[in-house]
Structure 1
Amino acid sequence: MLVSLLAAAGLLLVPACSAGPAPTAASLRVLPEPTPRTLSGYYGQDLRWHKCGSSGFQCATMKAPLDYAHPASGDVKLAVSRKKATGSAKKLGSLLVNPGGPGGSAVGYLQSYAGLAYPKQVRERYDMVAADPRGVAGSEPVECLSGKQMDRFTETDTTPDDPAEVGGLVGAYKVFAKGCQGRSGRVLGHVSTVESARDMDLLRSALGDRRLTYVGASYGTFLGATYADLFPKRVGRLVLDGAMDPSLAARRMNLDQTAGFETAFRAFARDCVKRSHCPLGTESVSDASSRLKAFFAKLDKEPLPTSTGRQLGESLATSGVIATMYDQGAWPQLRRALDAARTKGEGSKLLALSDTYYERGRDGSYANLMFANAAVNCLDLPPAFKNPAEVKAALPEFEKASPVFGKGFAWASLNCTYWPVRATGEPHRSTAKGAPPILVVGTTRDPATPYRWAKALASQLDSGTLLTHEGDGHTAYGRGSACVDAAINRYLLRGTPPTHDKRCT
């Protein structure tokens, strides 16, 4: 789910970098098969499991080196959870799951969804397992701002109209970065995707599995593909759902995602204008788009009151709309929220959607999703927007990609410019040469991970197979397509991928 910082984009937005894909980008270097002597104390750990939560879940703590290049420099402790296979048939080992982010809690996802609602036949044959990646939730979480500071941050104007507003936005990014350095400096330079992928191999070893079987969604596909690049001979059955394209520089990725959210909004608008009470009118998609853009512009000057005592300005309203683009099941909520805001002048419903997006609790505290997201993104790709002038120059391109969201997406791309830790990653092709078949899944109108990314990743992987879901929303597994679910279940249970470019509705 890669998250933007100031609500100008949705989960999976990354900071803008250079102009496009890296045509000569090499693959990641495959790590040696034998366990290095310096890491022998981390492989084959004896995890001490104990009951946690309910419904048969167990938890444990796994250690990993803070710095793989210098293992003696200290450890990080990673939160792990599992639910043992429930069936009596022969077990297939462990199935590791990750919901994306970066910053999403895999343990939370396992205990609230995957360990309970994944298809029964899968849960019967696999131990369902999750580990919060380093810097996330239960694994030495990155922290940056207090609740009140984060409230101010999320309210910052992300579509600046004059030098003073540009300065305010830049200042907000600097305060955020300084807060992360002050509160989480020890881990801030060691939460990259490559390091988290190496942690996954430690977990595979601790679970006693010869190969890694894995389902990753959204950013979790990047994590899974990175593992396959580093350890192709240890790949089991990998499902990469809502795939990212690691060969893209982040500016290109950001533009693609900007267009993806525009596609998702237009799908919402097409549905909305057919209804007699659409809050954006009943004329056309173009009119609905113009009305939403005008509504945001009005909020920029005149925020709406809410029942919480907070005000709904343009930035929070934008994040509320963006939050509903991931799942068409949330469209009725968005219609009600827009109706209340546009016709009744009451912003509480749209503010509640924004708070859900930011994982803000009723007590004003925030989960660490947004903090971890920035920390991982800013390590994985170097920023290329060196100053606000470069963002201004890029505005026409972004606004062409999305008349509604483009300006905010472009300015959100500036966040890593002020990051206190130098990036360690680069765009690269993911080939995983020597790995068994890897299943890549793409949804044609996915807002956060555009379908073209799934096509690109499947073509890069030496053993990639593409499964296409023709539909709306972010990711495909478990979202109502019996065809998609059957194909993925067959692959997980039998190791048989669908025919390349199989299409499902």
Structure 2
Amino acid sequence: MRSTTHAFGLVFTSALMLGGVLGGFPASAAPATTVQWTACPEDTTAECGSLRLPVDYGSPAEGTFDLAVARRKATDPAKRIGVLLINPGGPGGSGVDYALRTNLFSPDIYARFDVVGWDPRGVSRSRPVMCSNELLDHPASIFPASQAEFDALGAYNRKLLDDCRRRTGPLADHVDTASTAQDMDQIRRALGEKQINYFAASYGTLMGQQYAERYGDKIRTMVLDSNMDHSLGIWDYASTESAAMETTFTEWARWCDRTPSCALHGRNVIQLWHDVLARADRGELTDPDHPGTLLRAQDIVSTMGFGLYRPNQYASLATYVLKLSQQSKSDSARPRTSASTESNSVYQAAVCSDWNFPIRTFAEYQALEARERALAPTMRGGTVGHTDVTACVGVTDPVTNPQHPLKIRNAPQILMLDAVYDPSTPYAWTVNAHQQSRNTTTLLTYDGWGHSSYDRSGSPCVRAAVETYLTTRKTPAPDSHCAAVDPPGAPKAAAAENKRDVAQLHAG
């Protein structure tokens, strides 16, 4: 995952309003109007700072927190267009770390934009949501096989959420994406910009969608790569996730079949995979990276699922499966332990704030899991979407930012893109989000693999489309496609198609 509210409250203004109210909360709680920049400790070529913002925009008495931001100033001030706000997704990804990268965009983008990232509330440097490692390292099964295990999952979820609240304070209940969208506009105001440009992947696209719904006129350009679909209920969410994971796994197996350098080339990849999972079920496998640590089938499926995000890891996944198939039976498996007492983990708090995923009974759970497994038999239903929909089992708190159809009205054309074989944010999600906002969005389809097409596809066509749009505001022709670029090691059959696509992308 990566991951609106029915009522957003007051729209912020840039001037002091009657009654001493600024931007929807009292002037005494108003955020800083500027950022005091200093050299980042991790990289002195970039600048870091913070904004003091309200924990709860609707209730200033909850207090404030410091939102961490980082900036790489445009390298050619004479060509500077403005600010490019960026976010890598999550929930839990660090936008500061994202901004500290020097290779995300082309030199031309770095020349023309101040690239600014932020750690969303509850993440890393921005009042992190802290949770017990004892709980994080010993979760209840998200695949309960009995009523007792289902009850244990609900009890665990409640205990973890309460533990994170106790360790973190009030912010743990205010890490929803609607609040993050308001934080984004506070960044814009603090930077003195009338409009921002925005680039995000995965869960960061939900932040962008909700910003566009509320602050559409404050956008110059917006690129949403690998989109969330916040209109989906639990059944559609789980079903599309499972189907996407199964399809992408099948594509990986086909890549092995046609790629001599794949460690499993010439073998029955699907049968070997089933054999490895069966050995894990019998407790015969340990983690190659953590000798002696018991490896469950669920762990292997999860490793495969996340590995499929990056086509350049296809070869490594094959080697991983081969090593597991050759592993001798382990007699000394032990659970993994952590040396520290707590970790930053905003995931559950964010998911339970942004998504209403009701699973009230064990029977409802069984029906949902059966549906997932029917759609993804090779991947046993998958773990990415399943983890999301089970994160709030047993949690009865109100969902502060529940699903609704995307409604963008007062915004320029926004560029949405995704890969056909995206294992995390299914292509169907981006198509559906686009259909809900056809008047304000343009869809670009990458006919290949991976999660985050701009950063991970290796497609010159995708990169050209995104960077042309950011610099000129010119979108690709409607329903444009970029040809697939095969993962490393496979024949380069798509090179000519990509050259053609780059030339024709903006035709029409």
| TM-score calculated relative to the size of structure 1 | 0.84
- The answer as to whether partners of 2:48 and 2:68 remain within 8 angstroms in 1 is yes
Question: Structure 1 residues 69, 162: CA separation in 2 closer, same or farther (over 3 Å shift)?
Answer: closer
Q: Match of 2:395?
A: 419
- The answer as to whether partners of 1:30 and 1:230 remain within 8 angstroms in 2 is no
SS at match of 1:413: helix
- The answer as to whether partners of 1:27 and 1:431 remain within 8 angstroms in 2 is no
- The answer as to whether partners of 1:445 and 1:470 remain within 8 angstroms in 2 is yes
Question: Structure 1 residues 275, 367: CA separation in 2 closer, same or farther (over 3 Å shift)?
Answer: farther
1:65 is aligned to 2:50: no
Question: Structure 1 residues 440, 276: CA separation in 2 closer, same or farther (over 3 Å shift)?
Answer: closer
In the alignment, the residues of structure 2 paired with residue 116 and residue 411 of structure 1 have an alpha-carbon distance, to the nearest angstrom, of 31
Higher deviation after alignment, 56-65 or 421-430: 421-430
Q: Match of 2:276?
A: 295
**Deviations, residues 306-354 of structure 1 (Å, cap 9, x unaligned):** 454322222322221122010111111111111111112389xxx9xxx
Q: Match of 1:382?
A: 356
Identity of aligned residues (%): 30
- Residue 203 (structure 1) aligned to one of 176, 182, 187: 187
Question: Structure 1 residues 176, 298: CA separation in 2 closer, same or farther (over 3 Å shift)?
Answer: farther
Q: Match of 1:443?
A: 419
Counterpart of 1:232 in structure 2: which amino acid?
A: G
Q: Match of 1:249?
A: 233
Deviation of 1:484 after TM superposition, in Å, equals: 0.9
Q: Match of 2:304?
A: 321
Which structure has the greater CA radius of gyration?
2
Question: Structure 1 residues 71, 208: CA separation in 2 closer, same or farther (over 3 Å shift)?
Answer: same
Question: Structure 1 residues 297, 226: CA separation in 2 closer, same or farther (over 3 Å shift)?
Answer: same
In the alignment, the residues of structure 1 paired with residue 181 and residue 148 of structure 2 have an alpha-carbon distance, to the nearest angstrom, of 42
Deviation of 1:108 after TM superposition, in Å, equals: 1.2
- Residue 138 (structure 1) aligned to one of 122, 125, 134: 125
- The answer as to whether partners of 2:305 and 2:423 remain within 8 angstroms in 1 is no
Q: Match of 1:342?
A: 325
Question: Structure 1 residues 205, 297: CA separation in 2 closer, same or farther (over 3 Å shift)?
Answer: same
Question: Structure 1 residues 423, 472: CA separation in 2 closer, same or farther (over 3 Å shift)?
Answer: same
In the alignment, the residues of structure 2 paired with residue 268 and residue 365 of structure 1 have an alpha-carbon distance, to the nearest angstrom, of 38
Deviation of 1:275 after TM superposition, in Å, equals: 5.4
- Residue 118 (structure 1) aligned to one of 78, 84, 105: 105
> Where do residues 12-91 of structure 1 align in structure 2 (5 Å cutoff)?
31-32=10-11, 34-35=13-14, 37-39=21-23, 40=27, 42=30, 45-52=33-40, 53-54=42-43, 56-91=45-80
> Where do residues 80-479 of structure 1 align in structure 2 (5 Å cutoff)?
80-111=69-100, 113=101, 115-146=102-133, 148-153=134-139, 156-163=140-147, 165-274=149-258, 282=266, 288-306=269-287, 307-345=290-328, 368=344, 371-403=345-377, 404-406=379-381, 410=386, 413-419=389-395, 421-461=397-437, 462-479=439-456
Deviation of 1:183 after TM superposition, in Å, equals: 1.8
Question: Structure 1 residues 388, 414: CA separation in 2 closer, same or farther (over 3 Å shift)?
Answer: farther
In the alignment, the residues of structure 2 paired with residue 445 and residue 260 of structure 1 have an alpha-carbon distance, to the nearest angstrom, of 7
SS at match of 1:326: coil
Deviation of 1:451 after TM superposition, in Å, equals: 1.2
SS at match of 1:255: helix
Question: Structure 1 residues 91, 422: CA separation in 2 closer, same or farther (over 3 Å shift)?
Answer: same
Deviation of 1:388 after TM superposition, in Å, equals: 2.2
- The answer as to whether partners of 2:196 and 2:220 remain within 8 angstroms in 1 is yes
- The answer as to whether partners of 1:279 and 1:342 remain within 8 angstroms in 2 is no
Deviation of 1:73 after TM superposition, in Å, equals: 2.9
Higher deviation after alignment, 455-464 or 291-300: 291-300
- The answer as to whether partners of 1:26 and 1:429 remain within 8 angstroms in 2 is no
**Deviations, residues 156-183 of structure 1 (Å, cap 9, x unaligned):** 5443444554455444434423322332
SS at match of 1:478: helix
Deviation of 1:433 after TM superposition, in Å, equals: 0.6
SS at match of 1:63: strand
Counterpart of 2:443 in structure 1: which amino acid?
A: L
In the alignment, the residues of structure 1 paired with residue 432 and residue 62 of structure 2 have an alpha-carbon distance, to the nearest angstrom, of 38
SS at match of 1:89: helix
Counterpart of 2:36 in structure 1: which amino acid?
A: R
The structure showing larger relative contact order (alpha-carbon pairs under 8 Å, at least 6 residues apart) is: 1
Length, aligned pairs only: 463
1:494 is aligned to 2:472: yes
| TM-score calculated relative to the size of structure 2 | 0.84
**Deviations, residues 240-269 of structure 1 (Å, cap 9, x unaligned):** 011112221243122211111111111111
In the alignment, the residues of structure 1 paired with residue 86 and residue 403 of structure 2 have an alpha-carbon distance, to the nearest angstrom, of 24
Question: Structure 1 residues 308, 413: CA separation in 2 closer, same or farther (over 3 Å shift)?
Answer: same
- The answer as to whether partners of 2:353 and 2:402 remain within 8 angstroms in 1 is no
- The answer as to whether partners of 1:31 and 1:230 remain within 8 angstroms in 2 is no
In the alignment, the residues of structure 1 paired with residue 7 and residue 205 of structure 2 have an alpha-carbon distance, to the nearest angstrom, of 15
Question: Structure 1 residues 30, 119: CA separation in 2 closer, same or farther (over 3 Å shift)?
Answer: farther
Counterpart of 1:419 in structure 2: which amino acid?
A: V
Question: Structure 1 residues 33, 391: CA separation in 2 closer, same or farther (over 3 Å shift)?
Answer: same
Deviation of 1:472 after TM superposition, in Å, equals: 0.3
Higher deviation after alignment, 480-489 or 40-49: 40-49
Unaligned runs of 5+ in 1: 3-11, 13-24
In the alignment, the residues of structure 1 paired with residue 236 and residue 387 of structure 2 have an alpha-carbon distance, to the nearest angstrom, of 15
Question: Structure 1 residues 407, 93: CA separation in 2 closer, same or farther (over 3 Å shift)?
Answer: closer
Question: Structure 1 residues 339, 388: CA separation in 2 closer, same or farther (over 3 Å shift)?
Answer: same
Deviation of 1:28 after TM superposition, in Å, equals: 6.1
Question: Structure 1 residues 255, 66: CA separation in 2 closer, same or farther (over 3 Å shift)?
Answer: same
Unaligned runs of 5+ in 2: 484-508
- The answer as to whether partners of 2:132 and 2:341 remain within 8 angstroms in 1 is no
- The answer as to whether partners of 1:445 and 1:472 remain within 8 angstroms in 2 is yes
